[in-house]
Amino acid sequence: MIQFKNVTKKYGDKIAVDDLSFDIKEGEIFVLIGPSGCGKTTTLKMINRLIPLTSGYIYFKERPISEYPVYEMRWDIGYVLQQIALFPHMSIKENIAQVPLMKKWTDSDIDDRIDELLTMVGMEPEQFKNRKPKELSGGQQQRVGVVRALAADPPVILMDEPFSALDPISREKLQDDLIELQKTIKKTIVFVTHDIQEALKLGDRICLLKEGHAEQIGTPEAFLTMPENDFVKDFIGDLDTHRMQQLTIGDIADSHPAGNNTDYPDYPIVPDDTQIQVAFQHLSEHDGIIVNGEDDNKKILKSQDVFRYLADRQGGAER
Choosing among ligand ADP, Mg ion, none, which partner's interface includes residue 140 (Cβ < 5 to 8 Å by kind)?
none
CA nearest to 172, candidates 201, 151, 149, 192: 201
Distance, in Å, from the CA atom of 246 to the CA atom of 226, rounded to the nearest integer, reads: 19
Q: How far is the CB of 214 from Mg ion (least distance, A)?
A: 16
Q: How far is the CB of 82 from ligand ADP (least distance, A)?
A: 10
What number of chain residues touch ligand ADP (CB under 6 A)? Answer: 11
Distance, in Å, from the CA atom of 8 to the CA atom of 4, rounded to the nearest integer, reads: 10
Distance, in Å, from the CA atom of 302 to the CA atom of 307, rounded to the nearest integer, reads: 9
Counting every residue, how long is the chain?
A: 319
The one segment of 36-44, 126-134, 232-240, 268-276 that binds ligand ADP by CB under 6 A? 36-44
Tell me the per-residue interface mask from 40 to 69 with Mg ion, x by CB under 5 A, - otherwise. Answer: xx----------------------------
Residue 64 within binding range of ligand ADP, rule CB under 6 A: no
Residue 197 within binding range of ligand ADP, rule CB under 6 A: no
Distance, in Å, from the CA atom of 32 to the CA atom of 186, rounded to the nearest integer, reads: 18
Number of H helices, E strands in the chain: 14, 13
* 8-state DSSP, 135: G
Distance, in Å, from the CA atom of 200 to the CA atom of 224, rounded to the nearest integer, reads: 9
Residue 48 within binding range of ligand ADP, rule CB under 6 A: no
Choosing among ligand ADP, Mg ion, none, which partner's interface includes residue 71 (Cβ < 5 to 8 Å by kind)?
none
Distance, in Å, from the CA atom of 282 to the CA atom of 227, rounded to the nearest integer, reads: 17
Choosing among Mg ion, ligand ADP, none, which partner's interface includes residue 87 (Cβ < 5 to 8 Å by kind)?
none
Q: Is 272 helix (H, G, I), strand (E, B) or coil?
A: coil
* 8-state DSSP, 265: T
Choosing among ligand ADP, Mg ion, none, which partner's interface includes residue 16 (Cβ < 5 to 8 Å by kind)?
ligand ADP
Q: Which residue from 4, 20, 24, 40 is in contact with ligand ADP, where contact means CB under 6 A?
A: 40
Nearer to ligand ADP, 11 or 71 (CB): 11
Cβ atoms 114, 125 nearer than 8 A: yes
Distance, in Å, from the CA atom of 160 to the CA atom of 50, rounded to the nearest integer, reads: 13
Q: Which residue from 38, 181, 270, 300 is in contact with ligand ADP, where contact means CB under 6 A?
A: 38
Residue 16 within binding range of ligand ADP, rule CB under 6 A: yes
The one segment of 11-19, 64-72, 230-238, 292-300 that binds ligand ADP by CB under 6 A? 11-19
Binding interface with ligand ADP (CB under 6 A): 11, 14, 16, 34, 36-42
